[in-house]
Chain A
Amino acid sequence: MLDRVAVHQTRLRTPGLGLDAKGVALGAKGLVLLPSIDRLVAFLALYTRQNSLADFLRTLVVEVVRSKLGAREVTITFAGESSDRMDRVAEVARLAGGYTFTGTSRHFVQYRDAAAPFGYDIGQITPSDATLALYHNAFSQTYDSERKIEIRSLLLRLEPHVDPSTAREPGPRWICAEAGLGAALIHYFVRSSVEAEVGVAEWPPESSFDEGPVVRYIFRVPAVPDRMVPLLSSTPGLGVYLPIAPGAAVEVGYRHPVNLRACPVFSEAGLVLFRGGGRDVLELTKLPALGDVGAFARVELRKEVAASRVPDAAARPPAVSIALRLMPSTEPWRAVTASWIRPEEMPLLRQVAYALGPETLRKARIALTKEGAYLRQPSGIEGIPVGEFFREIRAGLYIPAGYDAVPTVAPDVLYRALGSPSGQIIFINRDGRTVGVPGDAFVPLETALLEAQEWAPLTGLSSGLTAALSTELPEIFLGGTGIRPLRDVPAVAELDKPAAAIEKVS
C-alpha cells in the first residue's frame, strides 16, 4: 500500500524521489509498464499522434522485463524532466492499458493520479537484488531485465495498415521501380514532361542463388500528375511512396501505425521505404546519386551541321542574356534555412554553440570551406544567430534572405542556368558571386563541433601503469596455518648456530 504525498510534505522515503516546483513527487526517470508488445505499439501510436518522441528519444529505453513468476512485460524508461511531460505520458499510458511510475534508479513508485494529486510514496522498500522494483497501489513487483527493444527495429518490423486516403495527399513522392521498368518509366516521364530525379540503388542478393545484387530505380517526383496515379500505383513492379518523415516513406495506400514524423530515428542521408501487403521494408543506408530524368531524353544526331559564318563587318545582334542581380525585397522572410559564416565569424559560432540546444545541434548541418562555414537547418536557421542568412528558393539553391533574384525567373530556370549541378548546394551571394558546396560536405553540427576539438595527451602519474598493466590487484586471503605453523622457523637465538648443531640437538 502506498502513502499519498501530502501538501507541503518535504521528506520522501522512496530513494531518488523528490518534489518538483509544484510539489509533485518526481524522480529523474519516468517508467511506463505495459503488458505486451502490442500495447507498446499502441502506446507509441497514441503518443506520437500529438507529441514528438524527439525530446526524450535519447533517454528512451524499451525493455522486456520478467517478474519472479516468469511473466514478461514491457517497460519504457525515459528522462522524467517535468511533471508536464509525465502527465502527458501518464494519460496516454492509461489509455494504452499501462501504468506510469517515477523513480531514479531501481525503485519506481506510481506516478500521481486523481486520487493523489501530489503523487505517492513507498511505505517500506522491498529489499531485493532485482534490477527493477515497481510499487503501485494495486501491486508491488520486482522485475529483472531480459532484453532491450530498439525503437528503430521495432518500427521497421511493424506492418503498415491499409489507408486509401493517403493516395489523395498532395506533395512529393518516391517511386521505386524494378530494374526492368526503370528505363521505361524514365522515358515516360521525359515524354510527359514530368519533372523527376532518378537514381539506381542496389541491395545485396536475397540468396546465394541470385547472380548479382538486386537493382531498383528510385525516382523522386515533386508532384505526380493525377492522370499518372492509377498507372503508377497499379502496375506490378512499381511502388509509389509518400514521404512521411525525413529518411522514411510509406507506400501510398498504407499508413504506418506509428507517426514516424514524431520518431526521428531514421537517417536523413538514407531512405527507408515501408511496403504494404506483407512485403519487406526496403532500406537504403545512403541515397544513390540522383539526376534529372531530362538527361535521359532521346538523342538524335544530325548528319551535317550547317555552320553559319558571321560576316566580319556585320554588326552583331544585341545579346539577350543579362547578368543575374539580387535586389532587396520587402516581402517577409520565408524558408530561411541556411547561413554563411565567414572565417572571422567562426569564433562567434563557437561561442554560440555552447548555448545551442541538443535538438538544434543534432539537426543543423555544417560544411566547412575555405570561405567559411555554411550551415543548413531545415526547420529554420534563426536559432543560430550568426552569419549571413540565406533562404532556399529551390532544393539545393539558396539566395540571401531579404533579396530577390532579378530578372524574376523561376527558381528552376535559374537552377538550370547554373548547370543543374548534381550533388552541389548552390549559394548566390549578395555580390552576385555564386558558390557550390558539395552536399556530402554537410555533416551534423554536433559531429563537426566534436571533430574540431583538439586534445593533447597528458602524462598521468599512473597512466603508464594502468595502460600497460590492467591486471587485478593482489588480494590476500587469510586462513588457518595448520598444526605447528612455525615448525620450520627456529627460535631467534638458534639462527646463528651452525645448522648441523641444531639438527643434532633436535
Chain B
Amino acid sequence: MAEDLGERCEELAHEVLAPLVLGGPMRAVRPFGGRLGLSLGIQREIVDLDLRSRLDVARVRRARLLAPIDALPPLDEADWAVLAAFNDLVQLTNQHLVTVFTRRNYARLLGNLRWLCERIPAPRDVLGAISRHATFCRALELVRTDSSVKWWTGSASFRGETPPTRLTAWKDLRRVEIDAKRIPLTEMTLGLKGIASDDFNDALSLWLTRTPLTDLAEAARRAPLFSWSASTLSLIATTPGRSLAFRALSRQPAERVASALARANAQIPSALDEARELAVGFTNEVAVGRLQLTEQHKGSDAEPRNRASRR
C-alpha cells in the first residue's frame, strides 16, 4: 500500500503539480478523497530530482516577485494535502467521473473535498504562506480547451479532450471546421449534469482559503468572490504578512481590489469586531499605499518628459 501511495504521489507530482507550477498539459489523477489526501504527504518528497529542482526554481521565481528570498522549504504534508484537494477539485469538472449508475459520485467527491479542506492546516508562518502561494498561485490560470468539430454531415463537441483524428481527417474533402474555446477553472462545471456551478465555486473558495496569500492575491477575481477567512485574517495580522499581501494586491487593478475588499469587509459578522477592525485597517492601508504608488509612478513618468523638454 505504501509503495502504491508513493507511486500515486509521484504520479500526482508529474501530472498535476508540475503543470500547475511550470505550465503545460495537466492530467488529473484518480481522486484521493479526504482521508487519503490528509495522510498522503506524510514524510513524502518528490523522487524525480530533476523535476524537484525545476519546481524549486520556478517556485522561487514566483516567490521573488513578492519577497527577496532565495530558497523555499520543500512541500510539507499540508502542501501535499492541498495538492490532492486541487486534484479532486479538478476531477469535479471531469464528465467521465460519473456514469448512469454512479450519478452520486460528484456529491461524494465534493463532500470529501470539503471535509479535506476544512482539515488542512493553514500555513504556520509567513514563510509557509509564501511557499504555499509559490506552489499554487497559478491555480486560477488553469484553462481547459473545449473543441467543437463540424464536418459536412455532422458535428461533435469535446470537453478538455483532443478530437479524435478520424473526425478531423481529410479536412478539405469533408470540410472539417474546428472551433476551440478556452474555459477558465471557474466555468469548467458549466453545462455539467450532477454538479452545480455554485457548489463548485464554493469548494474552490474553500480550497483557496488554504493558501491565504493566493486567496488575497486573487481578491479581484470575478468568481468565486473574495471573502475574509481565518487564514487570510491571521496572515494580515502580522506585519510581514500584511506587506506581502499588499505587494500581491498591488498587481491587481486598484478599483477592483478596493471594491472586493469593501464587499468582504461588509460580510464580516458584526460580532467579530476585532476581525472587522483588522480587515478595515488593512483595506485603508491598501488604498493609501496604492495612492502613493500612483503618485510615485506619475513622478517617474514626468521626469523623462522634463528632461526631454529641457533638451
Binding site for B on A (CB under 8 A): 127-128, 452, 454-459, 461-462, 464-465, 468-469, 471-482, 485-492, 495-496, 499
Number of A-B contacts (CB under 8 A): 145
Q: How far is the CA of A478 from the CA of B16 in the complex (A)?
A: 12
- Find out whether the CB atom of B28 lies under 8 angstroms from the CB atom of A476: yes
Residues of B within 8 Å of A464, CB to CB, are: 65, 251
- Find out whether the CB atom of A478 lies under 8 angstroms from the CB atom of B94: yes
Residues of B within 8 Å of A487, CB to CB, are: 30
Asked if B264 is an interface residue, CB under 8 A from chain A, the answer is: no
- Find out whether the CB atom of A474 lies under 8 angstroms from the CB atom of B32: no
- Find out whether the CB atom of B23 lies under 8 angstroms from the CB atom of A486: no
- Find out whether the CB atom of A481 lies under 8 angstroms from the CB atom of B94: yes
- Find out whether the CB atom of A486 lies under 8 angstroms from the CB atom of B108: yes
- Find out whether the CB atom of B24 lies under 8 angstroms from the CB atom of A472: yes
- Find out whether the CB atom of A456 lies under 8 angstroms from the CB atom of B141: no
Residues of A within 8 Å of B111, CB to CB, are: 491-492, 495
Q: How far is the CA of A477 from the CA of B27 in the complex (A)?
A: 5
Q: How far is the CA of A144 from the CA of B200 in the complex (A)?
A: 48
Q: How far is the CA of A250 from the CA of B297 in the complex (A)?
A: 57
Given contacts A461-B251, A474-B142, A479-B96, contact A486 B27 (CB under 8 A): no
Q: How large is the interface on B (under 10, 10 to 19, 20 to 34, 35 or more residues)?
A: 35 or more
Q: How far is the CA of A481 from the CA of B36 in the complex (A)?
A: 17
Given contacts A468-B61, A495-B35, contact A477 B108 (CB under 8 A): no
- Find out whether the CB atom of B26 lies under 8 angstroms from the CB atom of A461: no
Query: When the two chains form the complex, which single residue of B20, B115, B175 contacts A127, counting CB atoms closer than 8 Å?
Result: B175
Asked if B105 is an interface residue, CB under 8 A from chain A, the answer is: yes
Query: When the two chains form the complex, which single residue of A127, A480, A489 contacts B33, counting CB atoms closer than 8 Å?
Result: A489
Residues of A within 8 Å of B24, CB to CB, are: 472, 474-475
Q: Min CB distance, B186 to chain A, in Å?
A: 13
Q: Min CB distance, B138 to chain A, in Å?
A: 6
Nearest B residue (CB) for A343: B311
CB under 8 Å from chain A, chain B span 18-63: 19-20, 22-28, 30-36, 58, 61-62
Asked if B160 is an interface residue, CB under 8 A from chain A, the answer is: yes
Q: Min CB distance, A504 to chain B, in Å?
A: 15
Residues of A within 8 Å of B142, CB to CB, are: 473-476
Binds A, one of B74-82, B265-273, B302-310: B302-310
Binding site for A on B (CB under 8 A): 19-20, 22-28, 30-36, 58, 61-62, 64-65, 88, 90-91, 93-97, 102, 105, 107-109, 111-112, 115, 138, 141-145, 159-162, 171-172, 175, 188, 251-253, 293, 297, 300-301, 303-305, 307-308, 311
Given contacts A456-B300, A489-B33, contact A469 B58 (CB under 8 A): yes
- Find out whether the CB atom of B141 lies under 8 angstroms from the CB atom of A474: yes
- Find out whether the CB atom of B30 lies under 8 angstroms from the CB atom of A481: yes
Residues of A within 8 Å of B22, CB to CB, are: 471
Residues of B within 8 Å of A488, CB to CB, are: 30-33, 36
- Find out whether the CB atom of B30 lies under 8 angstroms from the CB atom of A485: yes
Q: How far is the CA of A489 from the CA of B32 in the complex (A)?
A: 6
- Find out whether the CB atom of A499 lies under 8 angstroms from the CB atom of B304: no
Query: When the two chains form the complex, which single residue of B33, B105, B145 contacts A475, counting CB atoms closer than 8 Å?
Result: B145
A-B contact pairs, 26 of them (CB 8 A): A127-B171, A456-B300, A456-B305, A459-B293, A465-B251, A468-B61, A471-B22, A475-B25, A475-B26, A475-B142, A477-B160, A478-B93, A478-B94, A478-B144, A479-B94, A479-B161, A485-B97, A489-B31, A489-B36, A489-B88, A490-B33, A490-B34, A491-B111, A492-B107, A492-B112, A496-B115
- Find out whether the CB atom of B31 lies under 8 angstroms from the CB atom of A472: no
Q: How far is the CA of A471 from the CA of B18 in the complex (A)?
A: 12
- Find out whether the CB atom of A454 lies under 8 angstroms from the CB atom of B23: no
Nearest A residue (CB) for B8: A488
- Find out whether the CB atom of A492 lies under 8 angstroms from the CB atom of B105: no
Residues of B within 8 Å of A458, CB to CB, are: 297, 301
- Find out whether the CB atom of B26 lies under 8 angstroms from the CB atom of A474: yes
Query: When the two chains form the complex, which single residue of B95, B115, B304 contacts A455, counting CB atoms closer than 8 Å?
Result: B304
Q: How far is the CA of A458 from the CA of B301 in the complex (A)?
A: 7
- Find out whether the CB atom of A476 lies under 8 angstroms from the CB atom of B90: yes
Q: Min CB distance, A331 to chain B, in Å?
A: 39
Residues of A within 8 Å of B105, CB to CB, are: 485-486
Residues of A within 8 Å of B300, CB to CB, are: 456-457
- Find out whether the CB atom of A495 lies under 8 angstroms from the CB atom of B138: no
- Find out whether the CB atom of A454 lies under 8 angstroms from the CB atom of B305: yes
- Find out whether the CB atom of A454 lies under 8 angstroms from the CB atom of B308: yes
Given contacts A128-B172, A482-B30, A488-B32, contact A469 B62 (CB under 8 A): yes
- Find out whether the CB atom of A492 lies under 8 angstroms from the CB atom of B108: yes
- Find out whether the CB atom of A474 lies under 8 angstroms from the CB atom of B95: no
Residues of A within 8 Å of B304, CB to CB, are: 454-456
Nearest A residue (CB) for B66: A464
The 8 A-B pairs with the shortest beta carbon distances in the complex, nearest first, are: A489-B33, A492-B111, A478-B160, A471-B23, A472-B23, A454-B304, A454-B308, A456-B304
Nearest A residue (CB) for B301: A456
- Find out whether the CB atom of B308 lies under 8 angstroms from the CB atom of A489: no
Q: How far is the CA of A481 from the CA of B93 in the complex (A)?
A: 12
- Find out whether the CB atom of A481 lies under 8 angstroms from the CB atom of B65: no
- Find out whether the CB atom of B253 lies under 8 angstroms from the CB atom of A473: no
Q: Min CB distance, A467 to chain B, in Å?
A: 10
Q: How far is the CA of A486 from the CA of B109 in the complex (A)?
A: 8
Nearest A residue (CB) for B95: A478
Query: When the two chains form the complex, which single residue of A457, A473, A480 contacts B143, counting CB atoms closer than 8 Å?
Result: A473
Q: How far is the CA of A485 from the CA of B95 in the complex (A)?
A: 12
- Find out whether the CB atom of B95 lies under 8 angstroms from the CB atom of A486: no
Nearest B residue (CB) for A480: B96
Residues of A within 8 Å of B112, CB to CB, are: 489-490, 492, 495
- Find out whether the CB atom of B115 lies under 8 angstroms from the CB atom of A495: yes
Residues of A within 8 Å of B172, CB to CB, are: 127-128
Nearest B residue (CB) for A493: B111
Q: How far is the CA of A475 from the CA of B305 in the complex (A)?
A: 43
Q: Min CB distance, B124 to chain A, in Å?
A: 25
Residues of A within 8 Å of B175, CB to CB, are: 127
Residues of A within 8 Å of B26, CB to CB, are: 474-477
Residues of B within 8 Å of A496, CB to CB, are: 115
- Find out whether the CB atom of B97 lies under 8 angstroms from the CB atom of A473: no
Q: Min CB distance, A494 to chain B, in Å?
A: 9
- Find out whether the CB atom of A476 lies under 8 angstroms from the CB atom of B31: no
Q: How far is the CA of A461 from the CA of B91 in the complex (A)?
A: 32
Residues of B within 8 Å of A481, CB to CB, are: 30-31, 91, 94, 96-97
- Residue of A458, A476, A486, A495 with most partner-chain B CB within 10 A: A476
